[in-house]
Structure 1
Amino acid sequence: MAAISGVGLSWRSKVSERPSTKKKPSRSSSTTIRLCVSSPRIKMTVSVEKKQFSIQKSEEIFNAAKELMPGGVNSPVRAFKSVGGQPIVIDSVKGSHMWDVDGNEYIDYVGSWGPAIIGHADDKVLAALAETMKKGTSFGAPCALENDLAEMVISAVPSIEMVRFVNSGTEACMGVLRLARAFTSRAKIIKFEGCYHGHADPFLVKAGSGVATLGLPDSPGVPRAATIDTLTSPYNDISTVENLFNTHKGEIAAVILEAVVGNSGFITPKPDFLNALRRITKENGALLIFDEVMTGFRLAYGGAQEYFGVTPDLTTLGKIIGGGLPVGAYGGRREIMEMVAPAGPMYQAGTLSGNPLAMTAGIHTLRRLKEPGSYEHLDKITGELIRGILDAGKNAGHEISGGYISGMFGFFFTEGPVYSFDDAKKSDTAKFAKFYRGMLEEGVYFAPSQFEAGFTSLAHTSEDIQRTIAAAEKVFRNI
């Protein structure tokens, strides 16, 4: 059972969480809402002895990095701008834990921003990669591994009949946008405030995530011409979407969204929101695109579209399907995908697309997820985690709300409910920063931003969860 953000209600999908053969969910298989009743938590005796927290080596490395790379990082949120203090520099990871260069150990709820759903450095994945590397690391030509992973993706994700592999979520979203415009011969798209679809120019409009964390405008360097056809609506606001379609009749190519928002924190759709989008797009000859870079193979084996029983026209994937190596993909109905070169006229290419190492890691990650009990485990431990954090915060007198679905969760320092980016922005980000730094010193690593979702893995244990809750209780009392 997965609690909706901030409202004490829960989604329960009627679609089985166990992986199944390809099956299109019907409209009648949409989720229902149930009251979430927290069961009493069983306290475990957990040793909390640990070495003195110090990040001297991290500080030295980061200071050197600032002379070499913009802000000292290769992706903005890593710089800890919104939480303050010194970023930690990671040395190694295994299972649900990570170690920094100073030797501090952390329970990790970032999971490389989502890919590590079976745990970091899984032994079977590493062994398969070692065998694949003996044959080479890049071919720039077709390989059989591409077929294997493509078949797995197509059989799992309801909307996908053909797939194109790329190298990142950003690249997947760039490709799917061009495809939607090519297929419909229309230019305009609708995206939602706080949904992040990578850093391509057309998407950097009210994009949330790192942009919001850093307090930047959508981005200098993005010309007006690149975003003039990007229309925006608040998330969970159907009336605005309907008004946009009425105002721009026959001009809108697609609606793209994160079915569960992970880049404004964790925000779930209201009960009929996704079904309404499916109806409106069909009525107007537009395509519905689910960006499942985060939610794909995480909410269920078939992603958010399996979980909620709503099938889009096109889907983007990333993260999990590469098992921790750089990967992305977009796919959908065959008639749409056959527009892509060389089958059709819409051009998109990539030197490292279908890289054998990424394909291998993805194949073995998905095989592990297909094992019975995988999603039940994710649901159980994530539920224990979020209920424990919310209880600890409220018992200490803090305004806090949050929720989870399967292996994805989030919490906000606001009373809630949180149904949109505007709601999320009511959070006390200064308090989150204090909480974040306190948890870091207690050996717990969350995403360094109030506006990012968290992730659990099959490697997380009940002991990990109880240690985290105990740390949260301590930190909440001190902030």
Structure 2
Amino acid sequence: MKTDRSAQLFTQAKTYIPGGVNSPVRACRSVGCDPLFVHKASGCMITDVDGNEFIDFVGSWGPMILGHAHPEVVEAIQAAAVQGTSFGAPSPLEVELASMVCKAVPSMDKIRFVNSGTEATMSAIRLARGYTGRKVVVKFDGCYHGHADSFLVKAGSGVITLGIPGSPGVPEDIVKNTLSIPYNNEEILEQTLRDTNLDIACVIVEPVAGNMGVVVPNLGFLRKLRELTRELGIILIFDEVITGFRLALGGAQERFGIMPDLTCLGKIIGGGLPVGAYGGKRELMELIAPDGPVYQAGTLSGNPLAMAAGLAMLRVVQRPGFYAELEAKSDWFGAEMEKLAAAAPVPISVNRIGSLMTCFFTRGPVTDFTSAMTADAALYGQYFRHMLAGGIWLAPSQFEASFVSAAHERSHLQKALDMTESSFKKLMV
């Protein structure tokens, strides 16, 4: 596989960009290679600057549920762009998208658009503190909620991929108001939330963890979390940046039938463009300025390009049979992956739900951060390199998810299975 142009670009990028990348996992250090630079993408295919083609299972880290450059999304963006790319004022598109999202997400009465998932989560935390008058945020080990200071305690995604325990530059005064406890552990959850010495404003959780690899929740854990927070007057925030409009039209909360107080959404609601949102119960959302005293703002919030792309994407996923078809092909693919993992010469545990999946290179089961961290990242690196050489584009980290999109056809999935079988056979401890 020729990579000369990517190598040249990476050398040039390192002169001007820290690590040569604008998001740390993309540096590919944990999988033992340098990044490839992308020239274009269409459907489930990505083409790099050297002309190599790959079947994509990253999907821009989740939002490309329709695949890349879906014609209806592209057409919507083009039509919006000729009218202007940013107004710094309200537009009809944001009203239409807000209505559509609120109707789809079961717990959401009102919504505020922002520019990223990180902005959504940090704004939701501020709102929860403003509503309760309390300070402490409870999160879960290995869950990632963006790079705001409060969330970099035992975080997932690039933080664990790079082996960073937290981050310099985060004041102790901020960290002391964040507690991180084990995911899927009901006993510690109850002990923590019932501790009268704590001043807990909210609990934020990925209802399906996706940033330490895919870790499916014990439903008893999520139900206990909802019961306790409701009883104790603690705001429950679902971070559905990954699961929103992915596991169902109404996200994980629809799939599990568990309603949070606030929900955070990410770039999937902008068809992959930079956007985020948080929303929830009317009594909470009406505390946000200008209706209330909790301030949050952003010039590009609700920008017309993201709104237009989001509307186009949501219209497609609401067509009859969309989620049933996506679920069926994902179930078939996941079941075949499990068979291959069982026959592999090294221990591999497959975690999956809907169109999300992670192959952990460990005996499993993987149910929390501690068990996820038993995975052999070096073995994953071998697997990643074999798959890349065979034309399969995976996340350059053991601790991320793979995504199936509507654009993946049976032939694409079968090629990935064939390459996986070949790659597994070559693995060596």
TM over 0.5: yes
Q: Which residue of 2 aligns with 1:166?
A: 114
Equivalent position amino acid for 1:209 in 2? S
- Secondary structure of the residue that 2:241 maps to in structure 1? coil
Q: Which residue of 1 aligns with 2:218?
A: 270
* Equivalent position to 1:138, from 86, 92, 95: 86
Equivalent position amino acid for 1:477 in 2? K
- The structural deviation recorded for 1:280 is 0.5
CA distance in 2 between counterparts of 1:100 and 1:351 reads: 33
Q: Which residue of 2 aligns with 1:445?
A: 393
- Secondary structure of the residue that 1:269 maps to in structure 2? coil
Moved more, 386-395 or 416-425: 386-395
- The structural deviation recorded for 1:246 is 2.7
* Equivalent position to 2:250, from 302, 307, 319: 302
**Is residue 421 of structure 2 the alignment partner of residue 470 of structure 1?**
no
- Secondary structure of the residue that 1:66 maps to in structure 2? helix
Q: Which residue of 2 aligns with 1:104?
A: 52
Equivalent position amino acid for 2:362 in 1? T
Matches within 5 A, 1:303-318: 303-318=251-266
Is the 1:170–1:200 contact (alpha carbons within 8 Å) kept by the matching residues of 2? Answer: yes
**Is residue 32 of structure 2 the alignment partner of residue 84 of structure 1?**
yes
- The structural deviation recorded for 1:132 is 0.9
Q: Which residue of 2 aligns with 1:30?
A: none
Taking structure 1 as the reference length, the TM-score comes to: 0.88
Equivalent position amino acid for 2:168 in 1? P
CA distance in 2 between counterparts of 1:251 and 1:476 reads: 49
Is the 1:158–1:302 contact (alpha carbons within 8 Å) kept by the matching residues of 2? Answer: yes
CA distance in 2 between counterparts of 1:141 and 1:396 reads: 56
- Secondary structure of the residue that 1:289 maps to in structure 2? strand
- Secondary structure of the residue that 1:312 maps to in structure 2? coil
Q: Which residue of 1 aligns with 2:4?
A: 56
* Equivalent position to 1:384, from 317, 332, 347: 332
- The structural deviation recorded for 1:324 is 1.1
Equivalent position amino acid for 2:334 in 1? I
* Equivalent position to 2:296, from 333, 348, 351: 348
Equivalent position amino acid for 1:465 in 2? L
Is the 1:205–1:230 contact (alpha carbons within 8 Å) kept by the matching residues of 2? Answer: yes
* Equivalent position to 2:152, from 204, 210, 213: 204
- The structural deviation recorded for 1:247 is 2.3
Equivalent position amino acid for 2:337 in 1? I
CA distance in 1 between counterparts of 2:40 and 2:421 reads: 28
* Equivalent position to 1:243, from 180, 185, 191: 191
- The structural deviation recorded for 1:393 is 2.8
RMSD: 1.0
CA distance in 1 between counterparts of 2:353 and 2:21 reads: 31
- Secondary structure of the residue that 2:277 maps to in structure 1? strand
- The structural deviation recorded for 1:217 is 2.1
Moved more, 237-246 or 223-232: 237-246
The aligned length equals: 427
Q: Which residue of 2 aligns with 1:71?
A: 19
- Secondary structure of the residue that 2:55 maps to in structure 1? strand
- The structural deviation recorded for 1:249 is 5.0
Unaligned stretches of 5+ in structure 2?
none
Is the 2:270–2:307 contact (alpha carbons within 8 Å) kept by the matching residues of 1? Answer: yes
Is the 1:176–1:314 contact (alpha carbons within 8 Å) kept by the matching residues of 2? Answer: yes
- The structural deviation recorded for 1:386 is 2.1
The CA deviation string for residues 18-67 of structure 1, in whole angstroms up to 9 with x for no partner, is xxxxxxxxxxxxxxxxxxxxxxxxxxxxxxxxxxx121111111111011
* Equivalent position to 1:155, from 97, 100, 103: 103
Taking structure 2 as the reference length, the TM-score comes to: 0.98
The CA deviation string for residues 322-362 of structure 1, in whole angstroms up to 9 with x for no partner, is 10110000000000000000010000000100000000000
- The structural deviation recorded for 1:397 is 2.0
Q: Which residue of 2 aligns with 1:127?
A: 75
CA distance in 2 between counterparts of 1:339 and 1:63 reads: 48
CA distance in 2 between counterparts of 1:439 and 1:248 reads: 51
**Is residue 128 of structure 2 the alignment partner of residue 180 of structure 1?**
yes
Is the 1:96–1:459 contact (alpha carbons within 8 Å) kept by the matching residues of 2? Answer: yes
CA distance in 1 between counterparts of 2:115 and 2:196 reads: 33
**Is residue 369 of structure 2 the alignment partner of residue 421 of structure 1?**
yes
Is the 1:195–1:257 contact (alpha carbons within 8 Å) kept by the matching residues of 2? Answer: yes
Is the 1:137–1:357 contact (alpha carbons within 8 Å) kept by the matching residues of 2? Answer: yes
Q: Which residue of 2 aligns with 1:37?
A: none
- The structural deviation recorded for 1:390 is 2.6
- Secondary structure of the residue that 2:215 maps to in structure 1? coil
Matches within 5 A, 1:216-227: 216-227=164-175
CA distance in 2 between counterparts of 1:389 and 1:250 reads: 44
Is the 1:317–1:329 contact (alpha carbons within 8 Å) kept by the matching residues of 2? Answer: yes
* Equivalent position to 1:456, from 404, 412, 419: 404
Is the 1:382–1:404 contact (alpha carbons within 8 Å) kept by the matching residues of 2? Answer: no
Is the 1:193–1:232 contact (alpha carbons within 8 Å) kept by the matching residues of 2? Answer: yes
CA distance in 2 between counterparts of 1:291 and 1:378 reads: 22
**Is residue 137 of structure 2 the alignment partner of residue 189 of structure 1?**
yes
Q: Which residue of 1 aligns with 2:229?
A: 281
Among all aligned residue pairs of Structure 1 and Structure 2, give the percentage whose two residues are the same amino acid: 52
Is the 1:375–1:406 contact (alpha carbons within 8 Å) kept by the matching residues of 2? Answer: no
- Secondary structure of the residue that 1:247 maps to in structure 2? coil
Matches within 5 A, 1:19-30: none
CA distance in 2 between counterparts of 1:62 and 1:209 reads: 22
4+ residue runs of structure 1 moved beyond 4 angstroms?
none
CA distance in 2 between counterparts of 1:371 and 1:424 reads: 36
Equivalent position amino acid for 2:329 in 1? I
- The structural deviation recorded for 1:250 is 6.5
- The structural deviation recorded for 1:189 is 1.2
- The structural deviation recorded for 1:394 is 2.4
The CA deviation string for residues 193-238 of structure 1, in whole angstroms up to 9 with x for no partner, is 0000000001110002100000112111111011111111100011
- Secondary structure of the residue that 2:260 maps to in structure 1? coil
